Amino acid sequence: MSQTPRYRFAPSPTGFFHVGGARTALYNWALAQREGGVFVLRIEDTDESRNSPEWTSGIIDALAWLGIDSTSPQFEGPYFQSQNASLHIAAAHRLYESGHAYWCDLTPEQIQERAKASGKQGYDGYSRDRGLEPGAGRVLRFRVPEGTTVIRDLVRGDVEFENSSIEDFVLLRGNGSPMFLLANVIDDIEMRITNVVRAEEHLPNTPKQQMLWHSLGHEPPVWAHVPVLVNEQRKKLSKRRDKVALEQYKDEGILAEAMVNYLMTLGWAPHGDTEIVPWSTIVEQFRLEDVNHSPAFFDVKKLHAFNGEYIRALSIADFIATCRPWLTAEDVPWNADRYNEDAFIKVAELVQTRVVTLSEVPAMVDFLFLDTPIIDEQAFAKTFAAEFAVPFLERCRAAYASIDWTHDALKLHLDALSEELVVKLGKLQAPLRVAVTGRTVGPPLFESLEVLGRERTLRRINDALSRSV
RNA sequence: GCUCCCAUCGUCUAGUGGCCUAGGACACCACCCUCUCAAGGUGGCGGCACGGGUUCGAAUCCCGUUGGGAGUGCCA
């Protein structure tokens, strides 16, 4: 009879949610879902400097954005490591009483001196058999046994560590507070965790944790250490150098589904030859045994490609709804009261295939809501340098004053002009586009004009004509 | 330094001894479509780090070399 699998995600609240953490959380969540297990969230807040209540709600929000729903029956927590401190300390004392740990009065400086004198690194086990009693400033150290420790890891297979290469590590600090390693293990035991899936950087700590599990009389969980995410220099993603905050990607208009899908293809791939798959497929197919062993480059370009796919897959109604927050934000280039959703709806379809992130949307339609367009000077100079530009615009102005105001009629007229002036339509329309939208690229021009309206179009042509002389 | 991990196109990956003339995706290039730009379509470029084994047969197994990475706190 197998027990229900209990996975866990144990971030420390450092102020923002890291994309690497997001991937680890997603791995755990996918597995818990598929196996009918539980996803336990534990906030590892035992370091004072990494603790602030709003960080925690930030984590919950980030998880929710990723689709990890804290109200799901398969979600448990959040638990707070700091609240279990007495449990950690009690366990440490049990370890002392059973002979698995001992007290040590060496200061870090003394340890360094001894290491220097002996030519070996680290703590040398000096206090192992000194039979010290607990006392002020004394740390409790784990007595690492002889032998070897084998970690059964689902992604890496068996990893062997020589115990002699592991020093007697600290369980309790001189001030009596528990160390992370201990707290982590005690919490996992307490929460009946059966599967630990986390980043590879924890692998070197795992033998210590496994020894703790055994010393405390428990069978260790199933381990799985997944490769880290790296930057183009192939270094672990760091918040100092790299853009790693999930929030930043959300703010630039990355869709959660795209982020989730992309993250899952780092170190793993769905079956078949498309990587764009719904979460349900991922849950069906994801197995730790299939996770790649080497670090994966977090490629923003590919993330954007995924995002473009997801944006284009949206129904037009969903696309409009998804754009709304970006079009009604504070920092939009037009006066908020000038925003007209009906106008946006008319061009939405044309915008949808032209953006990769939602943050690009406002700049693509700003000319509709601005009194006067934001003129790109370089584009203006370049397009108005053409000989035909001014005469063309003058004729355009004359014709557009009376023509039927539909994109077809608008275009038809330019087609005729194009033939007459022997300038290809593609070139011909450029000055018009710059005059009206301020830019050289954008949604199809005649549809844009139709939505803009005759009056505003003519005014902008006038403005352009007068500034070009 | 020491411990551990890793190695398929530029990048993310498929591949678990014969289906591999190594497949897909992103990026890149070309062409088609086209009112700009996209989107879409078609095609192209490009890889098993190296050296030894094992085997009738190796990207796949073993060993070594080289190259990367992670860890190495009274941080988490």
Strand A75-80 with A139-142, pairing: unpaired
Residue whose structure tokens are 């990607």: A249
Measured between alpha carbons, how far is A239 from A157 in angstroms, rounded to an integer?
31
A29 CB-to-strand B distance under 7 Å? no
Cα separations (Å) of A116 from A110, A125, A131, A170?
Answer: 10, 14, 25, 20
Which ipTM was obtained for this model? Answer: 0.95
Q: What is the pLDDT of residue A326?
A: 96
| Residue A443 neighbours by CB under 8 Å, 6+ apart | A347, A350, A351, A354, A364, A365
DSSP code, position A133: P
Measured between alpha carbons, how far is A32 from A39 in angstroms, rounded to an integer?
6
Residue A199 CA, chain-centre distance (Å), reads 15
Q: Is A442 helix (H, G, I), strand (E, B) or coil?
A: coil
Specify which residue's alpha carbon is closest to the C1' of nucleotide B74: A173
A201 CB-to-strand B distance under 7 Å? yes
Phi, psi at A209, each rounded to 5°: -65, -40
A382 is catalytic: no
Is the Cβ–Cβ distance between A169 and A210 less than 8 Å? no
Strand A139-142 with A170-172, pairing: antiparallel
A90 CB-to-strand B distance under 7 Å? no
Is the Cβ–Cβ distance between A270 and A13 less than 8 Å? no
| Residue A325 neighbours by CB under 8 Å, 6+ apart | none
Is the Cβ–Cβ distance between A39 and A9 less than 8 Å? yes
* Domain A377-467: top CATH class: mainly alpha
Nucleotide with the nearest C1' to A184 CA = B76
pTM equals 0.94
Q: What is the pLDDT of residue A51?
A: 61
Residue whose structure tokens are 């799985």: A224
Nucleotide with the nearest C1' to A353 CA = B39
Nucleotide with the nearest C1' to A138 CA = B74
A121 CB-to-strand B distance under 7 Å? yes
Q: What is the pLDDT of residue A1?
A: 44
A122 CB-to-strand B distance under 7 Å? yes
* DSSP letter for each residue of A31-45: HHHHTT-EEEEEE--
Which member of A116, A120, A235, A239 is catalytic?
Answer: A239
Phi, psi at A101, each rounded to 5°: -145, 160
Q: What is the pLDDT of residue A54?
A: 76
Is the Cβ–Cβ distance between A403 and A381 less than 8 Å? no
> Per-residue pLDDT tens for A131-172?
899 989 999 999 999 999 999 999 999 999 999 999 999 999
Nucleotide with the nearest C1' to A410 CA = B35
A137 CB-to-strand B distance under 7 Å? yes
Which bases of chain B come closer than 7 Å to a protein CB? Answer: 1-8, 11-16, 23-27, 35-40, 68-76
Measured between alpha carbons, how far is A318 from A313 in angstroms, rounded to an integer?
10
Strand A6-9 with A38-43, pairing: parallel
Specify which residue's alpha carbon is closest to the C1' of nucleotide B35: A426
Residues 214-243 in A having a C-beta less than 7 A from any atom of strand B are 227-228, 230, 233-236
Burial (CB < 10 A; 0-12, 13-18, 19+), residue A130, is exposed
Residues 32-71 in A having a C-beta less than 7 A from any atom of strand B are 44-47, 49-50
Q: Work out the angle at residue A34's Cα, subtended by the Cα atoms of residues A275 and A273, and round it to the nearest 5 degrees.
A: 15
Please name the residue ranges forming H helices in A150-253: 180-190, 206-215, 246-251
CA of A302 to C1' of B41 (A): 21
CA of A353 to C1' of B67 (A): 42
Beta strands in A45-115 (DSSP E): 75-80, 101-104
* Residues of chain A scoring pLDDT < 50: 1
CA of A34 to C1' of B67 (A): 38
Take residue A50 and report the two structure tokens written for it: 């990494």
* DSSP letter for each residue of A138-152: PEEEE-PPSSEEEEE
Residues 347-386 in A having a C-beta less than 7 A from any atom of strand B are 350, 353-354
CA of A358 to C1' of B51 (A): 52
